[in-house]
Amino acid sequence: MHPRVPTDEGLTQVEKRRLWIYAGAGFFISPGAWLLQVIVSETVSAQTCDAMTTPLRSPGVTHMHTWLYATSALALAISIVCAALSTYGFALLHARQNSIRAQGDPNELKEQPRREQEEISRKRFIALCSALIGCGFVVGLVFTILAEVFLDSCSQWH
C-alpha cells in the first residue's frame, strides 16, 4: 500500500507539520519509551535485592512482575507506533520525491535541483533518520524485554 501523493510538488503547511510530528515520534518518543522502560524496570527490580544481592523476605514492590511486564508492553506498544509513524513519513516523502522525478523532463539537464526537490530531499533524509532510530529502539526494547524474561534476578519470587 503506497501513500497517496498529491500532484503539486510543494508541501503544504499541514503536511510539513505532520511530517515534523512523525519525525519527532521517531527521534524523541521512541527512545523516551525505551529509557522510561529501562528506568522503571531497573528500579522495580532493584527493590527485590539488598545491597549484597541477598533475597529479601518479601518483595519491595507488590506484583513486581506485573509492573515489569506491563511497563515493557506499554513501552513496546508506544515505540512500535512511533516507529510506524516515522516510517510512514519517510514513505510519504519517498513517494513524493519519486513523483517529482517522474514529472521532470529527462532530456533537460539541470545543474541545481529546484527548490521543491531540494526541500523534499532534505526532509526525506530527516524522515529516514527518524525511521531508523524509531525502528532501532523497537529492537532495543525487544532485547530488553528478552533479558527480563530469560534472566533470573536474585529474587526468590522470580
At residue 86, the pLDDT reads 96
For residue 1, tell me if it sits in a domain. Answer: no
Burial of 147: CB neighbours in 10 Å, binned 0-12, 13-18, 19+? exposed
Q: Write out pLDDT tens, residues 8-60.
A: 557 788 888 999 999 999 999 999 999 999 888 877 777 665 555 555 666 56
For residue 9, tell me if it sits in a domain. Answer: no
Task: Please tell me the total count of domains within the chain.
Answer: 1
For residue 127, tell me if it sits in a domain. Answer: yes
For residue 157, tell me if it sits in a domain. Answer: no
For residue 107, tell me if it sits in a domain. Answer: no
At residue 106, the pLDDT reads 60
Q: Which residues contact 91 (CB under 8 A, 6 or more apart)?
A: 2, 3
The yes-or-no verdict on residue 156 having pLDDT over 70 is no
At residue 126, the pLDDT reads 94
For residue 31, tell me if it sits in a domain. Answer: yes
Alpha helices (H) along the chain: 13-24, 30-46, 64-103, 115-150
CA distances from 156 to 61, 110, 127 (A): 14, 70, 46
**pLDDT tier at 152, thresholds 50, 70, 90:** low
Q: Which residue has the cell 522502560?
A: 37
Give SS3 for 54: coil
For residue 136, tell me if it sits in a domain. Answer: yes
The yes-or-no verdict on residue 132 having pLDDT over 70 is yes
For residue 98, tell me if it sits in a domain. Answer: yes
Q: Which residues contact 16 (CB under 8 A, 6 or more apart)?
A: 123
**pLDDT tier at 107, thresholds 50, 70, 90:** low
Rounded Cα gap, residues 75 and 155, in angstroms: 24
Rounded Cα gap, residues 6 and 60, in angstroms: 57
The yes-or-no verdict on residue 145 having pLDDT over 50 is yes
Give SS3 for 116: helix
